[in-house]
Amino acid sequence: MLACPAVSQQFVIQGGHALAGTVTPTGNKNAALPILAATLLTDEEVVLENVPDILDVHAMLAILDDLGVSVREEPDGALAFRADTIRGTVLDPDLCRRIRASVLFAGPLLARAGSVTLPLPGGDFIGRRRIDTHLIAFRALGATIDTPDRAYAMSHAGLHGAEIFLDEASVTATENVVMAAVLANGRTTILNAACEPHVQDLANFLVALGAQIDGIGTNRIVIDGVERLHGGRFRIGPDYIEIASFIGLAAITGSDLVVSEARPDDLRMILLGFGRLGIHVEWLDGGALRVPPDQSLEVVQDEGRAIPKIDDGPWPAFPADLTSIATAVATQARGEVMIFEKMFENRLFFVDKLVAMGARIILCDPHRVVVSGPAQLYGERVDSPDIRAGMAMLIAGLAAKGTTTIGNIGQIDRGYERIDERLRTLGARIERVDD
């Protein structure tokens, strides 16, 4: 597994070179994190395949280890978990500060141990990320919640089913409710549920352990609680955000890239959004897709020659995690396009770094930018403020003229497994060096 990089490490990229070859996506980061938390729901062994080797996974593993869960790596690279004894239910604040997904331990610990004390979670500074939806749902299931200093102390005398309408289609709230409800007494119906591919992966994992869940992939999920879950083996699906990142990277570098293990159903809206920038892909046999080289990137105008927009939203809308990458790609497409990030008010603040590289971008307000392209990008010294902005700047650096240096690359390592090594196999000129 990946060792934590030194804080002073950086990527040095020589841009302007086309890549070629085949890349295999890693396991879905946003599926792996809740599934790791869900291993607490059974005292039997759970084996997970295709767990991405990224820093966010290591942060979750550190919390599991602190709770007393044993983890071992199998010869085939799978990870085996055994939560036969839970050491405690008070989560370590320092460990939780490392990752936003620490909030996902609340549901499993409530269901399995009867209580949990959850410190304030950490994560990307991309805007306010409320947990009110989680708390409202837990109370509906029978939990009582106190709020000592910078923590949420939750407990119950017995979780029971309920009909819960989520006040927002929150991914992590949906996942937390599902994990708590699978061991609750009676039926739980979640309305306005999130239904992203990673939410589906979590639900399918729980079904493999004996949970009774209907409506997977819809915004109405019905869970009939069971007395206990058993062990099992499960393979985490491919990361469609990473696949889309490679598509964008290939398109603006003129690369001939094949991405294996792509699922068409995960990419429908993504390909529509990228299509507005002139990107097209070819589907190959066996679930692979090809990004042909030398694409003519041109913004497709709306009817009446209106400037189009790429806007995000809950599934099946264009994913919020790709707005940064779409912005970087748009700098190389002829025409004007608006990127409308509706969900997080700080995510687009990284665009000043692209502007420093030569991009023509107007920041209209915290949620909207207008990009005019194509613009010649030039190498620059930048820092990564979050996972997706870091990847966007890496993509821009590969398309830029000259040398780009990206600092704070631990942010990129949080979500992309050994990205420098994998890109070098495709011909990228990228090195990881000490600052």
- Which residues are designated catalytic? 124
Q: Of 28, 394, 380, nearest to 246 (Cα)?
A: 394
Q: Of 385, 309, 356, nearest to 127 (Cα)?
A: 385
At 425, give phi and psi (nearest 5°).
-65, -20
Give the span between the Cα atoms of 215 and 229, in whole angstroms.
Answer: 19
Residue pair 350/395 in contact by the 8 Å Cβ criterion: no
The pair of three-digit structure tokens given for residue 338, joined into one six-digit string: 């608006």
List the Cα angle 121/122/123 in 5-degree steps.
Answer: 130
H or E element at residue 431: strand 429-434
Residue with tokens 């030398």: 294
Work out the number of other CB atoms within 10 angstroms of the CB of residue 293: 15
CB contact set of 130 (below 8 Å; sequence gap of 6+): none
Give the span between the Cα atoms of 46 and 66, in whole angstroms.
Answer: 18
- What burial letters (b/e) apply to 303-329, b meaning 16+ CB within 10 Å? eeeeebebbbebbeebbbbbbbbbbbb
Range list of H helices, 67-209:
93-96, 106-113, 132-140, 171-181, 197-208
CB contact set of 305 (below 8 Å; sequence gap of 6+): none
Please state whether the peptide bond connecting residue 25 to the residue before it is cis, i.e. omega within 30 degrees of 0.
no
